[in-house]
Chain A
């Protein structure tokens, strides 16, 4: 929770609990939290997903805005039968697709590591490792990539991953397993190239 991160002036009454911004009151559906609450709890999740789903880095923030605005505008249509993150994932995936289509080319999920200052070898190594994994993720198809992202990066339980991806549980397990194998190979290739560069 990041209650203190959102200035009160930025949280309109409607977004902070206005009944209209709540989810519909279906008998089998839980009430959708207010947009402000969803933003507090899931902003980083949506932000990361947006990048993983191929949205250009320059417009990731715009895409995140769109996700929460869509959530607000169509809150009456959304039912939270299970995971809120599954709902957010579905919205984010559709928004990301739109942004990808707008882009002239697919965004490179791997950004160039920013130069670290002297004495920051550890930070540099972390950024390089992150860049390697981004590059490896970008090299596999979206189904497996997102299964790995949700399960191993976001730490979701497999049933929730399956719900997000709208696949059965076994398929989710399979995708995660295959994604791991592909990523391990990609990392191994990276090490091989790196060892060839450095005598």
Chain B
């Protein structure tokens, strides 16, 4: 058992107790600090995706993806518009190009006595012109939301392209002006844009070219040359321009006019080096030369 403090030491101890006291401010501040640190411990760990840098990064990614998608859509739309213009200029040519790629035999069909229509890319060669027109109309009417065609090209471009890609429709265009088609055109103003009525698919142009091809295939090269020249004069910048030049060079070669054939070949290759008929043109008269 300790003895009580002596008076002097007790006085010092009392003085120390009096002086050594934390202030109320220090007390409140200390508790505030403790409270904050305890609150941090009690708070659930914040998911990483909630932190603002990651959120900002995610927002930037989303924005970037959105901009890229919008840009891609715009570029695609512009490409469709451009493609639509090109289709308007040469839909049948595109059709022939497609068919020649798909079937190597289709290149020689143009020289056959009775040229067969190339295989249909749609897989429905039995379509009647009316049916084709109706199909194109219905396609244009039912697929306006197709991003590859509808938004920028519009029904006209689609119907032209469909009509051009359907060889049956091309071959049977003379029949396209049937009463039913006419009545259909009268009933619906938009039917004036049907493939059969398109300037690029004029039946007389098709018929004229077919006659020239038939003469060439029959060995009547003079007739073929005359028919091709007449076709070129009548349908300047027509849809069969490249085919006409190839056929004309072939006729010249067969007629023995090798220089003229060579000139035609050089001019064609110079003007249309990227043509799908360029290689075919290069082969013309090679043996004869």
User: Per DSSP, are chain B's interface residues mostly helix, strand or loop, or mixed?
Assistant: helix
Give the complex CA separation of A130 and B15 in angstroms: 5
Q: Check if B30 sits within 8 Å of A153, measured CB to CB.
A: no
Contact check: which of B11, B22, B34 meets A129 at CB < 8 Å?
Answer: B11
The chain B residue sitting closest to A181, CB to CB, is B9
What is the size category of the interface that chain B forms with chain A? 20 to 34
Give the complex CA separation of A133 and B38 in angstroms: 36
Q: Check if B30 sits within 8 Å of A61, measured CB to CB.
A: yes
Q: Check if A176 sits within 8 Å of B34, measured CB to CB.
A: no
Count residues on chain A whose CB falls below 8 Å from chain B CBs: 43
Contact check: which of A47, A72, A184 meets B41 at CB < 8 Å?
Answer: A72
Q: Check if A130 sits within 8 Å of B20, measured CB to CB.
A: yes
Q: Check if B15 sits within 8 Å of A133, measured CB to CB.
A: yes
**Is B18 interfacial (CB-CB < 8 Å)?**
yes
* Cβ proximity bits B1-41 to A, threshold 8 Å, 1 near / 0 not: 11001101101110111111110101111111111011101
**Is A173 interfacial (CB-CB < 8 Å)?**
yes
Give the complex CA separation of A171 and B199 in angstroms: 118
Q: Check if B38 sits within 8 Å of A12, measured CB to CB.
A: yes
Give the complex CA separation of A129 and B28 in angstroms: 28
Give the complex CA separation of A11 and B34 in angstroms: 9
One of A63-71, A86-94, A100-108 contacting the partner = A63-71
Give the complex CA separation of A160 and B81 in angstroms: 93
* Cβ proximity bits B250-285 to A, threshold 8 Å, 1 near / 0 not: 000000000000000000000000000000000000
**Is B42 interfacial (CB-CB < 8 Å)?**
yes
Contact check: which of A6, A39, A177, A184 meets B8 at CB < 8 Å?
Answer: A184
Give the complex CA separation of A152 and B16 in angstroms: 11
CB-CB under 8 A from A130, the residues of chain B are 12, 15-16, 18-20
**Is A15 interfacial (CB-CB < 8 Å)?**
yes
Q: Check if A173 sits within 8 Å of B1, measured CB to CB.
A: yes
Contact check: which of A126, A127, A151 meets B2 at CB < 8 Å?
Answer: A151
The chain A residue sitting closest to B5, CB to CB, is A152
**Is A183 interfacial (CB-CB < 8 Å)?**
yes
Give the complex CA separation of A38 and B32 in angstroms: 15
| Interchain nearest-CB distance for B8 vs A (Å) | 7
* Cβ proximity bits A70-98 to B, threshold 8 Å, 1 near / 0 not: 00110000000000000000000000000
Q: Check if B34 sits within 8 Å of A153, measured CB to CB.
A: no
CB-CB under 8 A from A30, the residues of chain B are none
Q: Check if B38 sits within 8 Å of A72, measured CB to CB.
A: yes
**Is A24 interfacial (CB-CB < 8 Å)?**
no
Give the complex CA separation of A178 and B262 in angstroms: 127
Give the complex CA separation of A109 and B175 in angstroms: 115
* Cβ proximity bits A172-194 to B, threshold 8 Å, 1 near / 0 not: 01001100100110010000000
Q: Check if B27 sits within 8 Å of A5, measured CB to CB.
A: yes
Known pairs A12-B42, A65-B37, A129-B11 / 14 extra A-B pairs, C-beta < 8 Å? A61-B29, A61-B30, A62-B33, A69-B38, A72-B38, A126-B19, A129-B15, A130-B15, A130-B18, A152-B9, A158-B2, A180-B9, A184-B6, A187-B8
In the A-B complex, the 7 residue pairs with the smallest Cβ-Cβ separation, listed nearest first, are A129-B15, A130-B19, A133-B12, A130-B16, A126-B15, A10-B35, A130-B15
27 residue pairs A–B, Cβ–Cβ below 8 Å: A5-B24, A5-B27, A12-B39, A14-B38, A15-B35, A15-B38, A43-B22, A47-B22, A47-B30, A48-B20, A61-B22, A61-B26, A64-B30, A65-B30, A68-B34, A73-B41, A125-B15, A127-B15, A129-B12, A130-B16, A130-B18, A151-B2, A152-B9, A152-B13, A153-B17, A183-B9, A187-B12
